[in-house]
Amino acid sequence: MTEAPKLTNTDFAKAIERNKDNTLLLLEVLAVSAAVVGYVFGWGMAAIRDIWAMPPAELSGLTVGWILHDLFAARPRSEALIGAGAMLAASIVWGVVMLHAGARLLSSLAHARPADPEKAPERLLIDVIKEMAIAAGLPAPQAMVIETPALNAFAAGASPERAIIAVTSGLLDACSRDEVQGVVAHEMGHIADYDVRYATVVAGAASAVVLVSHLSWGGRALTLSRSGSTAARAGLGALVLVVMLALSLVAPLAARLVQFAISRQREYLADAASVKLTRNPSGLIHALERLERGNTDLAEEGSPLVTLCIAAPSSEAPDDFLASHPPVADRIARLRNLGEVAVPSGRAA
């Protein structure tokens, strides 16, 4: 039998510094990307306007080379600079919003509500979160519940002081106390090493890129609806639109790549943190086994919530190179070998 892989790189202090640095780097990359998107969109609108306003005698001098030169080599158009500036400013504002209000925005997106201490399963969640916060030496995150039969959970927030842990009612009903504790400790691990800050910003950034892509489609439709019928103008305008179309096609993919740029190691590290806090690997192992067998569709593929969840949607192929999470079986195998801890292989009832 092949030996299960051992979990490595569990230096939590280094992970905290790495995730803080990654957050700042991500914000810088997103700002530059937003400026490029705004620049190209502003350029395209201005170029199409000029093509349709140009006297017929000048059209013969316009070629693909002219379009490429106008975009890459000519003096920047004022509309392009305005577009770049507007998108840069918007990205900075959005980044600040996500850092300060990301937890509330994402919990609202998931339709999460504060846990009710009058309900036994939710009282248990509140108590377990407090226990794991004490074990981690952190303030207790706000306990949130999502009314759905799906089995899943996530943490969000810019810092331990502003974090939330949201758990589905389905998971609370299906899991034992030890299993809930393992899940909560996993999410507390994300909070403790500031991975949750990075993940929250990524989730917000991904949704913003998709929104910009949708808006750009609206802008193109408006441009085409106001176009004339001259074949030469239409052809040149179409070439400009190809550049913008390419951008709109790349934007959702870029959002997905950025969203999943969070290394799979973050899930392994949070699993290790769960064991560190609970001293009980079997709780998380049995919870993961339930998730592997059950419905984990808290969010659809492409949703900014996907990378925050403890488990990917049931429809996601774990061997996909764009998969948001490592295979559950691999996570369980690593947990069984973590610190040479012997854990029974039997599945939870």
Q: State the catalytic residues.
A: 187
Residue with tokens 């927030």: 157
What is the full DSSP assignment across 152-197? -EEEE-SSGGG-EEEEEHHHHHHS-HHHHHHHHHHHHHHHHTTHHH
For residues 128 and 184, the answer to whether their CB atoms sit within 8 Å is yes
Tokens of 20: 């803080």
- Measured CA to CA, the distance from residue 98 to residue 84 in angstroms comes to 21
With beta carbons less than 8 A apart as the criterion, state whether 94 and 204 touch. yes
Q: Residue 169: CB partners within 8 Å, gap ≥ 6? A: 121, 145, 146, 147, 148, 149
Q: Dihedral, CA atoms, 306, 308, 314, 320, nearest 10 degrees? A: 70
Cross-strand partners of 143: 165
- Residue 177, judged by CB atoms within 10 A of its CB (0-12, 13-18, 19+), counts as exposed
**In angstroms, rounded to a whole number, what is the distance separating the alpha carbons of residues 270 and 222?**
47
Residue 186 in tokens: 């996993």
> Phi/psi of residue 309, each to 5°?
-70, 155
